[in-house]
Amino acid sequence: MDVVETEIVSTLLSGLVQQMQNSLFRTGFSSVIRESHDASCAILNTEGRVLAQHVVLPLHLGAFTECAKAIFRRYSVESMVPGDAFLLNHPYWGGSPHAPDMAVISPIFVQDKWVGFAATMAHKNDLGGSVPGSCPTTARDIFAEGIQIPPVRFVREGTVDEIFEAVLKANTRTPELVWGDIRGQLGSCRLGERLFRDLAGGDVDRLLAHAHHNAELSARRIQTVVSSWPDGEYSAARYVDHDGIRVGRRLRLAVRAVKQGDDLYFDLTDSDDQAVGPANIRPPLARAAAAFVMTSLVDPGLPINYGVLESVKIRTRPGSIVDPHYPAPVSTYNPTIHALEEAMFAALAPMAHQRVAGGGGSRSLAISGRDAEGGTFVQYELFGGGSGARTDRDGVNGTTVNHTNASIAPIEIIESEYPVRITRFELIPDSGGAGKYRGGLGFRREYDILADEVRVNVRSDKHFVAPGGLDGGSDGHPGRLLVYLMGNEERTLDSRVSDLVLHRGDRVALETPGGGGVGNPQDRDPVLVDRDWRFGYISIWPATSTGDKSGRGGERS
């Protein structure tokens, strides 16, 4: 196999998928797709394995394959024809992380031969359920989390099933936005089909052979690096605040990494039993999380394909938080995935010689109410926090961390589309953990409510379990959720809130956690301390810093 040609094919496939994503982001009806970019695209082969994914959300690497398997279980390959498209969002009967993540997948035909799928997965701002946004923090089963759709052929030979469209629109608070986003996904798939046919030309078998070889190279790259690590067995555990129902009871994500030769697997069987509330994750996501961790440690520029996913092995325990029994709820899965990835990074640190402090995790905010036309609006936003420092560099301020690469919606867009005013959006001084390398800062985003009545739903984490520091570094500052009723004294709420009712004149503020620091703060370069002081990242000059000529800490006025 010509290595140069394989590299060219890899680059072309990645570019093809990126064009699909650009199309999806530009045609998105909702701000969660158009602005936050909570969506992924991929090309799959006839086995449902990912040939290329231009990564926005790494977890979808595992989700796409499970969705394809679900289609195979329900529909025969022989029944598929050009112009078809399938839709599903079921976490158990498919691969979606939770109900709002809806997959649209269409078969690709080249000269009447079926050769694979064009696939998209995108978050919907509402699919019904007990609260607007479809991520209730107190759900006890998936039926409270919105409509659950098994694989459905909703487009047949280019014609949309009008009955399916009517049923779906009747089960969402924002039917035009949801259906508009689905049409955007369908258009992205059609673009992927066309681009793949153009790329294949008259020799699709050669294209597929190079794509397969590229996946082998990705897997081989990971195995080569793993073989250079020392053999051993290491364990680590990280925690989630709680599951939304058993408040105050931490959830434990435990990882045992076992490495021998070029073989590595993650044993997750010592993690807690499945959560009562919606903090569970399914094994396909746990496996994709492991693939993300390995890619980060081995080569962040690695082509993303099934070779990456299939090079990692996990072991789970049925009935645990990473392998729950149906129909355990999963809507607030994201904090659990972050804790799992941090435990994996910690377990691999003695082998890979790379250490990462705890980061700010992820969270979402949904504000909903009645619009001027009598319909329902759902303002859905995604946030990160500060990233943890590493063994050789500071964390990043106000960013997304680990697998969550969504963007923060611009203030101008939010204020122009929803009845809120964002009065503060700023970094929080001192929120990053001190260390030789400082943790990234969290931020505060504050909203004035301009509607008569709204419902607020927040799924956050690390308000009680602070992002941990390493090697003498300090923990990052925990997050906070605050409300001010009619401008009165502030009230601190839990990290997970469902159906909080606010009115015109009330205010809600979300403070995201900072990242943990790495190393002894006394070893920090005085030049960096001075920069932190000048930029306002710290409010007190450390008395221990060699750059403090007076020997006393100074306070910023």
Q: Tell me, what DSSP letter sits at residue 89?
A: -
| Helix, coil or strand: residue 537 | coil
Q: What is the dihedral of CA 433, 436, 440, 441, to 10 degrees?
A: 50
**String of DSSP letters for 311-369:** T-EEE--TTBTTBPPTT---TT-HHHHHHHHHHHHHHHHHHH---B------EEEEEEE
- Residue 244 confidence (pLDDT) above 60: yes
In the predicted model, what is the mean pLDDT of the chain? 93
- Residue 550 confidence (pLDDT) above 80: no
Please, which residues bridge with residue 518 across strands?
Answer: 437, 470
Tell me what pLDDT residue 55 has.
72
Residues with Cβ within 8 Å of 268's Cβ and at least 6 positions away in sequence, in order, are 253, 254, 255, 256, 286, 314, 315, 316, 317, 320, 322, 323, 340
Q: Which pTM does this prediction carry?
A: 0.94
Cα separation of 98 and 147, whole Å?
11
- Kindly report, residue by residue over 40-78, the tens digit of the pLDDT: 999 999 999 999 987 767 888 899 999 999 999 999 999
Residues with Cβ within 8 Å of 28's Cβ and at least 6 positions away in sequence, in order, are 34, 39, 122, 180, 181, 184
Tell me what pLDDT residue 545 has.
52
Report the first-to-last Cα separation within the chain, whole angstroms: 66
Tell me what pLDDT residue 409 has.
92
Tell me what pLDDT residue 354 has.
85
| Helix, coil or strand: residue 518 | strand
